[in-house]
Amino acid sequence: MGSRLSALIVNYGSGGMACALGRSLMLQWRELGGAAEDLELAVVDNASPGDQSQALGELASLGARVLWSRENLGYAAGMNLALEHTHGAADDWVLVLNPDLGLFPGALARLLETARGTRSLGAVGPRAYLDPARNWLMPPNRLPTPESEWLGARALHDGALAERLSEERTRHALTQWTARERCPVEMLSGACLLLPRAAIAAAGGLFDGRYPLYFEDTDLCRRLAGAGLDLILEPRAEIVHHWARSSGVEQADPEPARRHGLARAAYFERWFGPGARRPLDAADACLANPAPDPGARFEAAGPCTAPPEWGFPRHGRWLVEVAIAPLFPLAAGALVEGAAWRMDPRAWEWFYRGRYFVQAVDPLSLRVARAWSFEKLSPSRTQPLAPEELLPEAQAAAPEQGGPR
């Protein structure tokens, strides 16, 4: 296979993080013995609202190709623009990266090793954590269908259905969270994807520009699978993904939600046609109706300025899940051991300000033993990770937390 790597980043207000990621990528490439001319980094600034010139100028001084868009093209079109300004043969590699990532040592090497050793590869992705302490594993991605949209909305009004869907989601997540070897998956996150250029060609291109934000990776994974190519999770390649740093969550920016709605409509129209309209309309009608408050089952931990401690019914191994919605449609998970657990402060500082829901699940029976809610009062960290925060020495120096490793 080829040895040239083209890395793509689309930036929107995350220049400091993009710069730190670019530096880390270049370092790992050098550690692999890769020639500087065989790594090209193309960065598109998607009309960021703030001045990004210092951070992205630093990347340009290191050899990155920085492209300044006069309008917010959307993530998919921005990535396509970055790809257009790179070069490579069919057996060379393309690495898609969100700016809000950190690479643990060896991540790039393990992705490339797995990619080179996989016949009929569509894409390979890493294991992703929410935080540099590796407390919280990111939720696996699933391929949405009209039925899953309808069932998820209906669960807001049906406690038994909500419990069944939550158990199924947890079971699926555990298969990836506990994987120790590379494994096939139905979908990979577009936050970090390594693909052969030949796979991009077989799928008819990288991302579809009709998706202004979200669903572009879902669409790509369907196209890669449709071309007979495999999607592989490599759990030995580990990254930090500081979730949604450009999505405006903490600033209550309505624009990402608007773009999500447009992308959702485009995705279901493309893959399911007119038949999707009825279950989607039913799902939207369900979401519009006030649902019963499920908060009664949660023990209130109250407002918190430091990580709360959660106690379990017995000493043992537990799955702790955290979500911003009480039905846990999307949850990060920590596999811990003991009679109680408190997350690492290095994880806590990356949590957005707001209300969270937590549940302790027996990983064998999948029964929920206890559940809590808390409100984080302090804002999340915004400065990028320094490279030394991801080194093994920093992990070893941290207090013992009984985390997922």
How would residue 257 be classed by pLDDT, with cut points 50, 70 and 90?
confident
Query: Is residue 258 one of the residues assigned to a domain?
Result: no
Please tell me whether residue 362 adopts helix, strand or coil conformation: coil
> Greater confidence, 393 or 235?
235
CATH number of the domain within which 341 lies? 2.60.40
Contact yes or no for 46/69 (Cβ under 8 A): yes
**Average of per-residue pLDDT across 242-252:** 59
* Domain count of the fold of the chain: 2
Residue 132 tokens read as 């540099």
pLDDT at 256 exceeding the cut of 90: no
DSSP code for 137: B
**Alpha carbon distance 287, 203 (integer Å):** 34
Burial class, 153, CB count within 10 angstroms (exposed 0-12 / middle 13-18 / buried 19+):
buried
Q: Which residue pairs, CB below 8 angstroms and at least 24 apart, start in 387-390?
A: 387/20, 387/23, 387/24, 387/27, 389/102, 389/132, 389/346, 390/24, 390/102, 390/103, 390/104, 390/105, 390/132, 390/240
Lowest-confidence region among 91-100, 124-133, 275-284, 387-396: 387-396
The reported pLDDT for the residue numbered 143 is: 97
| pLDDT attached to residue 402 | 45
Kindly state whether residues 170 and 25 are assigned to the same domain. yes
Q: Where a domain ends, among 223, 241, 259?
A: 241
Determine the pLDDT at residue 255: 83
Mean pLDDT, residues 338-348 taken together? 97
Domain membership of residue 156 (yes or no) is yes
Encode pLDDT of 107-142 as tens digits: 999 999 999 999 999 999 999 999 999 999 999 999
Answer with the one of 226, 241, 256 that is the final residue of a domain. Answer: 241
Q: What is the pTM of this model?
A: 0.93
Q: Does residue 269 belong to any structural domain of this protein?
A: no
Condensed to tens digits (0 to 9), the pLDDT of residues 212-245 reads 889 999 999 999 999 999 999 999 999 999 865 5
What is residue 149's three-state secondary structure?
A: helix
State which of 241, 257, 283 marks the end of a domain. Answer: 241
Token pair in block for residue 332: 């990060």
Please name the residue ranges forming H helices in 101-236.
Answer: 107-116, 146-154, 159-177, 197-202, 216-226
Lookup result for tokens 């917010």? 72
Strand pairing of 121-129 and 309-323? Answer: unpaired
